[in-house]
Structure 1
Amino acid sequence: MIFGHIAHKNPCVLPSAITQALEFLRTTDFRAVGPGVIEIKGRDIYAQILDLTTCPSQDNSPEVHRRYIDIQFLAWGEEIIGVAADNGENIIAVPYQEERDILFYQNMANESFLTMSPGSYAIFFPQDVHRPACNKNKETEIRKVVVKVALTQL
């Protein structure tokens, strides 16, 4: 997992696909576009723009992906995201769905929380269990952009 803010340049060299995704986030005015999907590089790199309402963490299922990494970016609002390393012992709530590239767990061991503010991003790899869109202080309207980067691009 990598955590940062879009206003800060990353001091290390990242794979070009991640750099391209971060540049998309840095240069797009998300107030000028509506919810939906934007292809950045076909289905190899694409963004899902989502308007959501946060909820208590226990109401959100932890998730992992197998074919894509998630770059979760908060355009506005506030949220916390639960995160933990996938220890292989989490109980599956919903088996892997190939077409959606997602598997849901009932819960996750050793969960920590990231506090997201506008401009924050978190990059989740297949070994990173994450629980997005959780309340920080209260239920909040947020705009998230989730850039999906195919592992084949890394």
Structure 2
Amino acid sequence: MLYNELSMHHRYDLSSPAFEAAFSFLRRSDLAELAAGEYPVCPGVTAYVQRYTTSPAEALDFETHNKYFDIQYVVAGLEAIGVIPRRCLSEQTPYDSARDIQYWHEPEFAGSVVLYPGDYAVLPPEMAHKPRISLGEDRPVRKVVIKVPAVPR
């Protein structure tokens, strides 16, 4: 799934070597055994193996990144990710350049996608997202988030 505004379709090359390296990492047969932590994929691309328990949507915030795409891949477990164009939100916190993150106030309406094991979402900088949402009950999740530089063509 790639979710973005049509006006941005020409902005990024999703077949770049950085994206190819990211998806090659996700095809590793040992993802389920990797310890939580940070893994270099190729220059400029980093994978973060995460283990956590999902939370109710009300306890979470929408976030965006200016410098990177997020590829969020569920290895085990089940979660929803809220999605909405950044332009539809009002700022909750100023952009933190060192961490490449900004948080946003909850909108009146937003969409969501459910990720099952083996599913991924590609989230560009223009798309706010709220990961880790529980579905019915809080559940353990093992996920890999890969940060791919958002380099315009």
Q: What interval of TM-score do these two structures reach, taking the shorter chain for normalisation?
A: 0.7 to 0.9
Identity %: 29
Q: Which runs of 4+ in 1 moved over 2 A?
A: 13-16
Q: Which residue of 2 aligns with 1:53?
A: 53
Q: Which residue of 2 aligns with 1:85?
A: 85
Letter in 2 for 1:116: L
Give matches, 1:2-151, under 5 Å. 2=2, 14-42=15-43, 44-87=44-87, 89-108=88-107, 110-151=109-150
Conserved? CA contact 1:108–1:129, under 8 Å = no
C-alpha distance in structure 2 between counterparts of 1:71 and 1:37, whole Å:
14
Conserved? CA contact 1:81–1:134, under 8 Å = yes
Letter in 2 for 1:41: C
Q: Which runs of 5+ in 1 are unaligned?
A: 4-12
Q: Which has the higher strand share?
A: 1
Shift of 1:109: 5.0
Q: Which stretch shifts more, 135-144 or 27-36? A: 27-36
Q: Which residue of 1 aligns with 2:8?
A: none
Conserved? CA contact 1:90–1:109, under 8 Å = no
Distance 1:2 1:144, change over 3 A: same
Give the alignment's TM-score, normalised by structure 1.
0.85
Q: Which runs of 5+ in 2 are unaligned?
A: 4-13
Aligned length: 143
Give the alignment's TM-score, normalised by structure 2.
0.86
Give secondary structure in 2 for the equivalent of 1:133: strand
Shift of 1:22: 0.9
